[in-house]
Structure 1
Amino acid sequence: MTAGAPTDPIPLLVPDVPDPLSLLPYLQRMHAARYYSNGGPLVRELEDRFAERFGLGAEQVTTVASATLGLELVLQSLGLRAGSRVLMPTFTFAATATAVLRAGHVPVLCDVDADSWLLTPDIARGAHATDAVDAVLPVAALGMPHDMAAWQRFEDETGLPVVIDAAAGFGSQWLAGASGTLVFSLHATKSLPAGEGGFVVSSRPGLAARVRQLANFGINLDPASHLPVGALAAVGTNAKMSELHAAVALASLACWEQGAQARRALQREMQDALARAADGRIAWQLAGPAGAIAAPTLLCARMPDAACRGRLEALCAAQGIATRRWYQPLMHRMEALLPFCTLLPTPQADALAETLIGLPFFPKMDPAQMQRLTRVMEQAMRS
């Protein structure tokens, strides 16, 4: 069958990883150095590149094996007492909650803003006032960036540490002159793919260094320390990024800008076409003070009602068009999490979960695939 034929399935996502020829120079360097893990030259170069982008010192950035492990180790590095209450949105990927639990704390699940779909400082203030928490873990939902100046003011006012789960936010989420801590993912489906991996950016003194140590089992490597080199300074884990994943990330970084531009153009084209097909009756995630998503990786529409979403899902399934109810079930509807979480009122997140649908979106999506999707949207709306 030819690409884009009416009977071909349309996938939800297609990873945009650099081709083998683009990777070859980095792989050759890795092989020549005979360095494959444990903070090799490619990992150090990648960390330097990230530090330069964020305008920070190299000691304020560290890579990790995944964003999930990065979140766990950041939470461990904050020095919170065991069982601390960590405020986080119920509208997020499961890894946010599991990271809190695996760090030994209690997820306190709260609502999100109706337009941006983010946990905002105002929501956090209200939650803390009625049900005190010990830290806050906002999420850059679907890649939408947070206003870091607003979160810095929140930290200054409350004394609560804030860590942004920016897993999907590379290129969009910045410190923007404020203090803060960000954790990014380099998973294959993200805008900067390494296959697997992540990195931590933090202006908090010593935090990135602490994460780096914990990611290497917690072993002391500082000769000036009171501990012998090789002794455990803390109980960590193996969360180091490999040289192979750093090679893929460096190759991805080399072509990131043009990829981000193409993703933005595709998003505008698809949103406009789908909005016309839906006669303006669908809604999109709205940007806040920190701006829009610089390199979108997902396309999520809010349908007029649950019945309309159900019709669209059924029509898509019949035609081999993949869809996904992103971030659903909500965290407070996950049976495996419920015994370990505290739930605050979540009316906006509950309403969002009734109507949100993820639609196919990937680089090099062809016009025929887009036309099939818009026709299905028209059918769902006519019904």
Structure 2
Amino acid sequence: MSTSAPEWIPLLVPDMPSPEELLPWLRRMHATHHYSNFGPLVRELEAAFARRFALPQAQLTTVANATQGLELVLQALDLPAGARVLIPAFTFVATATAVLRAGFTPVLADVDAHCWMLTPAIARDACQHMHIDAVLPVATFGMPHGMLEWHQFEKETGLPVVIDAAAAYGSQWLQGAEGTLVFSLHTTKSLPAGEGGLVVSTRPGLAAKVRQLSNFGINLDPAADVPVGALAGVGTNAKMSEYHAAIGLVSLSKWELSAQSRQALQCDLTTALSAAANGRLVWQAQGCDASLMAPTLLCARLPDAQTRATLERLCAEARIMTRRWYQPLLTGMQVLQGRAIELNAHRAIDLGETLLGLPFFPDMALEQRQRIQDVVARACGGQ
């Protein structure tokens, strides 16, 4: 008598608001007949963000997505043509493509072996060996950076620092320092709006310039030197729609509960999997004096590449989805060859050879957790 195979355990499951939760907001939108172009829901969402960051609303703006937010922030910095922007070699491709699409050159740097991020110390070392015009660290897997350290780096070097905080909403704050942050509101993030992004900056005029560039670069300020309706810069269409703002507002209204649930799940899983692996798994270390408030991924570092391959194979046999974050590394991307400058990134390379993403999503069933735990035990010699 055959037994049917268990259902696949997905890697991620978006935690999006239900249609019923969205309906009142969609009715408000429809009543105003305002669906884009900085409508009332977008402005309400931005006002809510301003309160949370304790900043004037003029110091932040929504965008269509974080990738365009990064591009427009880099453009708004008025860097010289061909400017070199230091980024980690261990990151999602959008960090590099944003630099290229803004007309600049990515410089691929190493990351810290423990927090898996580009740190001020690594950036200082790179600046001693070559000319750098700006730094674009990444809040890897949502782990926040210490903004006081990066603020000090900016003051010492005069180089602008922009944090790619795509996965770090609710974890990455300015922490009383000056700085620029770009968040993603993608469906897989801790504050999902389906698509969307948020730019937060204490740099004078930066958020306003990004907002203008997101509306094609058209001037809407009667007091400006350029006539209203004329181009003040060469921008693009990167505005957040009212539809996405509606989703974002619902998600924001219950963010704290969601964050607590994600924290609890991460704690339970890391504890159980560490025990199953006899302590052979390594987790991302906290990068500063702030903690990861709303994790969206679960990534474990295995002892070596062979053990990772074994765990991948056993997971596939047990119908458990996995992913090699971020593979291939930027240093191995053929499209970037000749378009990026590569520095020594041996720690990033080692990380790329041993890291594996495991399933992580709200409402994960106990049976699913146990199946993952059993496979990890087998792969790491726990039983």
The normalised TM-score by structure 1 is 0.98
Take 1:208 and 1:8, find their aligned partners in 2: how far apart are those partners?
Answer: 46
2:21 is the alignment partner of 1:17: no
User: In the aligned structure 1, how far is the partner of 2:268 from the partner of 2:261?
Assistant: 11
Residue 289 of structure 1: how far off its partner (Å): 2.1
Match of 2:292 in 1: 293
**Structure-2 residue corresponding to 1:103:** 102
The separation in 2 between residues aligned to 1:308 and 1:120, in whole angstroms, is 28
Question: Match of 1:274?
Answer: 273
Alpha-carbon separation, structure 1, partners of 2:59 and 2:380: 50
Q: CA deviation at 1:336?
A: 0.9
* SS of alignment partner, residue 340 of structure 1: coil
Question: Could you tell me how far apart the structure 2 residues matched to 1:196 and 1:329 are?
Answer: 25
Paired position in structure 2 for 1:356: 355
User: Following the alignment from structure 1 to structure 2, what is the Cα–Cα distance between the partners of residues 196 and 337?
Assistant: 26
**What residue number does 2:234 align with?**
235
Deviation at residue 320 of structure 1 after TM alignment: 1.3
Written as runs of structure 1 = structure 2, the 5 A alignment for 1:173-212 is 173-212=172-211
1:80-105 residue CA offsets vs partner (Å, 9 max, x unmatched): 01100000000000000000000000
Quote how far apart the aligned CAs of 1:22 are.
1.0
User: What is the match of residue 158 of structure 1?
Assistant: 157
The CA distance in 2 between the partners of 1:134 and 1:82, in whole Å, is 10
Which whole-Å deviations, capped at 9, do the CAs of 1:59-83 have from their partners, x for residues lacking one? Answer: 0010000000000000000000110
User: Superposed, which structure 2 residues align to 1:246-285 within 5 Å?
Assistant: 246-285=245-284
Displacement, 1:221? 0.5
Give the C-alpha shift of residue 6 in structure 1.
6.0
Question: What is the one-letter code of the residue matched to 2:232?
Answer: A
Question: Could you tell me how far apart the structure 2 residues matched to 1:151 and 1:82 are?
Answer: 24
Where 1:336 maps in the other structure, the secondary structure is helix
The residue matched to 1:184 in structure 2 has which SS?
strand
Matches of 2:81 and 2:203, distance apart in 1: 21
287-296 vs 264-273, greater mean Cα deviation: 287-296
Q: Shift of residue 229 of structure 1?
A: 1.1
Q: For the residues of structure 1 that align with 2:143 and 2:124, how far apart are their CA atoms?
A: 20
In the TM superposition, residue 225 of structure 1 has moved relative to its aligned partner by 1.6
* 1:119 aligns to 2:118 (yes or no): yes
Could you tell me which amino acid in structure 2 is paired with residue 102 of structure 1?
Answer: R
Shift of 1:339: 1.8
The superposition leaves residues 210-235 of structure 1 with CA deviations (integer Å, 9 ceiling, x where unpaired) of: 00000000001011122221111110
Q: Distance in 2 between matches of 1:296 and 1:167?
A: 12
Which whole-Å CA distance do the structure 1 matches of 2:225 and 2:179 have between them? Answer: 29
Q: How far apart are 1:288 and its partner, in Å?
A: 2.4
Unaligned runs of 5+ in 2: none
1: CA distance, partners of 2:24 / 2:286: 38
1:130 corresponds in structure 2 to 129
Question: C-alpha distance in 2, partners of 1:24/1:17?
Answer: 13
Pairing of 1:19-98 with structure 2 (within 5 A)? 19-98=18-97
CA separation in 2, counterparts of 1:335 and 1:320? 31
Q: How far apart, in 2, do the equivalents of 1:188 and 1:217 lie?
A: 25
Q: d(CA) in 2 for partners of 1:287 and 1:336? A: 32
Offset from partner CA, 1:260-300 (integer Å, 9 cap, x none):
00000000000011001100011000102232210000000
Secondary structure in 1 matching 2:182: strand
Structural mapping, 1:297-336, within 5 Å: 297-336=296-335
**2:184 and 2:204 mapped to 1: Cα distance?**
22
Alpha-carbon separation, structure 2, partners of 1:378 and 1:149:
40
